[in-house]
Amino acid sequence: MNDNLDERLRFIFGRRSIRAYSSAPVSEATVQQLLAAAMAAPSAAGKDPWRFIVVRNRGTLAQIAGALPNGRMLAEAALGIVVAGELPAAHDQQVGYLLQDCSAAIENLLLGAHLLGLGACWLGVYPREQRVDALRQILALPPTVIPVSCISLGHPAETKPPRTRFTPDYVHFEKW
């Protein structure tokens, strides 16, 4: 990793997608802290359209894992948190704002998990209609609620080195 990067940012670089978990449970108090961190995210016009479904049931986790092509690790995770957005609650009832708000909450949740020593992996759901429909059915979501992602969570059974994917060619100054 680049030695010129500020050491204080190492925490962010250390957050990696973890797909292997130990069998240790995650406490309810920890889940509540993660949800509080998620809901500390910015939201367009302060609308907070995010909604969270905490899933611990092994059968439900296996169903969700089966519905998400890259979600096999959910079947072994201590829990999953589905991050969804309630469209009528979003700023101007716009999907774009809902997605931005939910994405900010997801990143807070991922950073919070890393800070608390947990492993987590962001699994995309929206805009894949097959995935959206599957999660709507599995979780009995109302039609106005859009499942955006599912986060697998647990105590990590793998470690990955810190990194950044910084690419100077992706940065433009003043104009394209």
Domains of the chain: 17-157 (3.40.109.10)
Structure tokens at 20: 């292997």
Q: Is the pLDDT of residue 45 over 70?
A: yes
Strand partners, 86: 145
Q: Is the pLDDT of residue 149 over 90?
A: yes
Mean pLDDT value across residues 153-157: 98
What is the Cα–Cα distance from 28 to 41, expressed in whole angstroms? 21
Confidence band, pLDDT 50/70/90 cuts, at residue 6: confident
- Helix segments in the chain, DSSP class H: 10-14, 28-38, 58-67, 95-115, 129-139
- pTM check: above 0.85: yes
